[in-house]
Amino acid sequence: MWFLCVFYHRLLDFRRPEVESLASLFGSIHKKLEWKLPKDHHIDSPFHFVSLPSEQIAYNIAKRSILVKGIFELWGEATSHDELEEVINAFPDERKSPYLESDTTFRIVIESFGKAINFTDQSQRIQRLSYIPFKGRVDLKNPKHKFWLLETDDYGSNNNGLPPVARKRIFFGREVGVSDRSILPTYQLKSRTYLGPTAMDAEMAFLMSNQGLARPGSIVFDPFVGTGSILISAAHFGALTMGADIDIRVVRDGRGPDSNIWSNFKQYGLPPPITLLRSDNNLPSWRSELNEVFDAIICDPPYGVRAGGRKSGGRKILKGTVAPYTVPEDKKHDHIPSTASYCLVECMHDLLDLAAKMLTMGGRLVFFYPVVREEGMSERISFPEHPCFTRTACSEQILSFRYSRHLVTMVKISPYSDELAVVAKMKHLEFKENHVKWMEDGNIHSAVLSPTDSGPGNSPRKSSDIDPKPKYRGKYV
């Protein structure tokens, strides 16, 4: 069945992958969905056609999605209101009549993209729909059926900062489902009890949980839990949660008994995590025989812009100048273990190895991966790989003209084995050898934040030198 899917005009790269993930969750659809664009529409348009198995699946996707505004059964599409009348009249009566009966209530909503329609014009548009034989009663508060008239303007190249549309387009359809973004103000960071410098924005955390298919009964693990933002979104969808962090002060103490990770869950009335561990991603604390525990691993690894990665062992221990030591029993409670720098390439290898062992078959690994945006970089981007996983989605979020981050979604397709571990190690070494220097040396912080070179023979780097990306309303979305 084909439906009209209307997106919010934001986080453009994330929109289709989110719908496909939710289709996998609600409809057991494990292949790419079929998509089409309206005639003369750009890929960044909020209007897309999508094929879904049933109306119930479409409703579930719309209800759960963060970026879908609504999904509709399309009754007509045209370039003018006169043409729209012909198309709607030609729509099969057997599909229209159940929603036009006298014992139903209805409401018509007028919506536009790229322009504003005043109340008088909205009323005129509703009156022009009199050729549709509605027999039921109008109910503006709680109608049984909602119908939407959606319009775009023909602004072409003079697009006022919006995706180009060559010709005006009008859509009319029955509402199947709309999203509930009221959860975003509820979970906004500014009202949260306990925050850290890298706390994930609520909207992005919910998107990550959708990519990870968080659901009642599933177990979601975040190995870089921080203040727990990602686990909070997973818990909202009913998942059981676990987290780990190398900093004992974060997972145990917070800022006091009323300002810690546990208080964040209590603030929203969510079930607390199963447990929080002081654990090092480089030296996992799991028993060797323990495997395939988690349904999803969702995380934002440290990549050195706001906070750098750390692993156990001070510089002297790692160099061998000081032998490993045992902490006396009376010192253990207040002891802060020594740590050393942890580059992103090593972190990625450890994360993929952990996920290969600990994820169930079909489980998902969802993580952010940073990229410095330089001329021609988009053609040379490579992402970490592992023989146990296939990559199903990669969505770019542009943070500045200097760098962006990609939300990578991987699905486990093969059980972990010693043979695959050897192949994974070879892939890691190849990735490490071929990758750009800033990734291995941990120089992303300086690449992003340091002034550009302007000495003899050098000119400051400008945003116009970076790979082009559509810019709408003066910003990337």
What is the per-residue burial (b if ≥16 Cβ within 10 Å, else e) of 358-389? bbbeebbbbbbbbbbbbeeeeeebeebbbbbb
Provide the CATH number for the domain formed by 2-180 in this structure. 3.30.2130.30
Alpha carbons 246 and 281: distance in angstroms, whole number: 8
Q: Which residue has the tokens 């009566």?
A: 93
- Taking alpha carbons only, the member of 309, 311, 307, 319 closest to residue 338 is 311
pLDDT (0 to 100) of residue 196: 86
In the beta sheet, which residues pair with residue 269? none
pLDDT (0 to 100) of residue 317: 64
Helix intervals (H) in 69-215: 81-90, 93-96, 119-127, 183-186, 202-211
Measured between its terminal Cα atoms, the distance across the chain in Å is: 30
pLDDT (0 to 100) of residue 455: 42
Same fold, 2-180 and 184-327+334-445: no
Identify whether the C-beta of residue 465 lies closer than 8 Å to the C-beta of residue 458. no
The domains of the chain are located at: 2-180, 184-327+334-445
pTM (2 d.p.): 0.89
304 to 130, 225, 246, 324, 400: CA distances (angstroms) = 61, 16, 15, 27, 15
pLDDT (0 to 100) of residue 436: 52
- Taking alpha carbons only, the member of 120, 118, 136, 267 closest to residue 192 is 267
Q: Which CATH class is domain 184-327+334-445?
A: alpha beta
Token pair belonging to 28 = 């057991």
Backbone angles phi, psi at 83, to 5 degrees: -65, -35
Low-confidence ranges of the chain (pLDDT < 50): 438, 441-442, 453-457
Identify whether the C-beta of residue 120 lies closer than 8 Å to the C-beta of residue 157. no
**What is the widest separation between alpha-carbon atoms in the chain?**
86
pLDDT (0 to 100) of residue 220: 98
Contacts by 29-34, CB closer than 8 A, 24 or more apart: 29/53
